[in-house]
Structure 1
């Protein structure tokens, strides 16, 4: 390996610039070479980028493809409309499956003062778990609900 005498003395610098030369010992050729700092920096960036891309938890192994894949896997917001014809029951199935959707907002345009809560219930022969409206009292009439939901993937 090269000794300090072979290298001579050097001034210290606080921040390297792209055109500055670095001294590199080439082990395969057993000699000392000068390398521009910008070239070493580009090599480091390529190595880091390659390592990061290989660790992506996506099928696409490039940055733009990975971002697009991750964005497509986000839960989608949907707006649903449900009309209930209330007779004498207190609980009405909204036909919104709890394993597929999360309700984050619900409002009625025509509830005529009737109070309600949203609850989780079971309906149908398959015992599907759906979101339901539970009225306080026994309202009658048609009630239209606007429901904002997140689709669970």
Structure 2
């Protein structure tokens, strides 16, 4: 907080109004096992019940109950076929921000891009891309450029040059 105060007294005043455990990871509880502090889940829920909110309370509650019931059933079906220690993640995600030191990188799996440029320069997924691929349970081997695979290497050397008879 002292460093913040030296940089911006206005920022310090604003942040000082809130308990530190609600806005800084250094003060977060270790019990929930969640590092995400955004309200996306609330926004998704509110978007789903938007129409129901204007209905009478019993109807609203019934629609919320049905929404939750369908969500649980849908997730049970997804989980029945899943193998592994960790739960599956939403595979629709293609863009990731990979946090690192000294900077963060943006990875786009769909376009096979990373802001570190290594993936595009070499055709081999960089550590940032590998981290994003691991998050969506995909194999990094499936994201190599065709030119850097063993098949391509073999094709390079599949030809031969016939020897010539030595003339006397």
Q: Normalized per residue, which structure has more strand?
A: 1
Q: Normalized per residue, which structure has more helix?
A: 2
TM-score by length of 2: 0.22
Higher relative contact order (CA 8 A, sep 6+): 1
Query: In terms of Rg, which structure is larger?
Result: 1
TM-score by length of 1: 0.24
